[in-house]
Structure 1
């Protein structure tokens, strides 16, 4: 107590003498101002949006999962479910392609090899209209449980189906339900791929080491994915719109000082429905009103990431 009284008394005397303002004695110390350095993409974008368009229908196994109850007796073919998948290439992809043209954006289409071979003209049209063709396996079977050589063949066959059909050499990869195996990345590096998307750990692309070489991770999404929200959780289109909008709004705020990427995913038989295409149009138009936002294919993102000195390396 004596020390505090002495301190106050001395402060009062100094104030009377005009040396200091006594109120300043108890003022909060000024914090050192810290300036955040604005982090932008190497092309000057404030934020990047990446849209996926899954080209899968036609490559599904017999009696694949669908909106219909899974109560079909063994030995019978699920004929209505087949028509649900057919919608993907008869209506879904063509409608989405027109929508992307209307919006003036390019997307990445993850293509299943057998789906491409079943609908080669449509697959080629995707590429001819300026979109990226990325590999998505030869079919819908799992690959994480394959031997090194079998998995390598599985990936290579799917990529070659795309190249033979469209003329586009895929450099990006997406495993079925993101479930890659322990050998997948080594195989992708060996086959000349530049990136994969089977990773949910960041909201910006980053570089990892695979076989002692740089390999890009362009993060994917489940939060802004129609197969999870619309088909899996029965979201309405309004709910889907608001969820993606909220994701964008937060990332856009963060993008003032951090490199941020928003991923949105549409599947041919789901995202290609009239209601979802209208919702996608409204979403993209909303996003396009924000300054500094660019829409990029994932191969473009991977290329920028490889040559950006500010890229995170894990």
Structure 2
């Protein structure tokens, strides 16, 4: 079966598609760019970006949990609170040990109110070499806020992370990815360099905001424990198989163009013993392949911002 480039050549659509440029072994054409190298600037062909959400402790009283929503009004759901407590008491510490075993660094999206309740854990995440990124002050729906309210909401979350870790976050993730029309402008004004609330590509890209470049490091729902394990009740084996199949396809594609795989874990879900075991197996499998680089999202964003061949939206 002919590939897309051959099809476009045969049908005379090559020029219209934007697929033009170099045919060298070091560069491959891509839609919207004259020529994009086959490798990332650090020499990798496939980037792996791992998220570790630090949310537990910052959840509202009515937050979703594995228990049925059958509590009578006016009563606290005490078992649900313990499910969340597992995230900071067991989940994140277990994942941190796992990342050390694997020799990889991840990005932790931190909810401000959660960090303020467990500042020592947030500080440990950074001390062990991982990125502290912002995830709002709490679980509020910022898309419904006006400009001033949203800017304060984001800034308060940044201040909480900074107070606990000494680090000012450069990346942002909105609650359930639902940013509002002012969010990107606010992020740029507050000194952020990238956000992840985008599912549109399998590689990082740049957008222009107020005449300046801003990086997008796409997130995932397909390789996300809160959607698959908690939301769809996948087994750990199903989750492992799905992520491995995603990796295999992207790795095959990376022989022709630059690719990125995103995987996401949440403190009270991805930090369970079975999920940590699954993560260790899947990432060791990936590490056996040449040209695979595990990178924090701030590192990916910085590389994208400095790359003249990066895709621009």
Q: Secondary structure at the match of 1:109?
A: strand
Unaligned runs of 5+ in 2: 1-9, 11-22, 29-37
Tell me, yes or no, if the aligned pair for 1:92 and 1:272 is still in contact at 8 Å.
yes
Q: Secondary structure at the match of 2:268?
A: coil
Task: List aligned pairs for 1:132-147, cutoff 5 A.
Answer: 132-147=131-146
- Structure 2 equivalent of residue 244 of structure 1: 243
- Structure 1 equivalent of residue 84 of structure 2: 85
Whole-angstrom CA distance in 1 between matches of 2:276 and 2:70: 31
Tell me, yes or no, if the aligned pair for 1:132 and 1:299 is still in contact at 8 Å.
yes
Whole-angstrom CA distance in 1 between matches of 2:265 and 2:283: 13
Whole-angstrom CA distance in 2 between matches of 1:109 and 1:73: 35
Tell me, yes or no, if the aligned pair for 1:135 and 1:174 is still in contact at 8 Å.
yes
Task: List aligned pairs for 1:1-314, cutoff 5 A.
Answer: 37-38=27-28, 39-314=38-313
Tell me, yes or no, if the aligned pair for 1:63 and 1:81 is still in contact at 8 Å.
no
Displacement of 1:229 = 0.3
Whole-angstrom CA distance in 2 between matches of 1:184 and 1:269: 28
Displacement of 1:211 = 1.6
The number of residue pairs the alignment matches comes to 282
Q: TM-score, normalised by structure 2?
A: 0.89
Whole-angstrom CA distance in 2 between matches of 1:192 and 1:168: 13
Whole-angstrom CA distance in 1 between matches of 2:95 and 2:303: 26
Moved runs in structure 1, 4+ residues, more than 4 A? none
Give deviations 1:182-238, integer Å, cap 9, x for gaps: 000000000000000000000000000112210000000000000000000000011
Displacement of 1:165 = 0.8
Q: Secondary structure at the match of 1:52?
A: strand
Whole-angstrom CA distance in 2 between matches of 1:310 and 1:238: 38
Unaligned runs of 5+ in 1: 1-30
Name which one, 1 or 2, has greater alpha-carbon Rg: 1
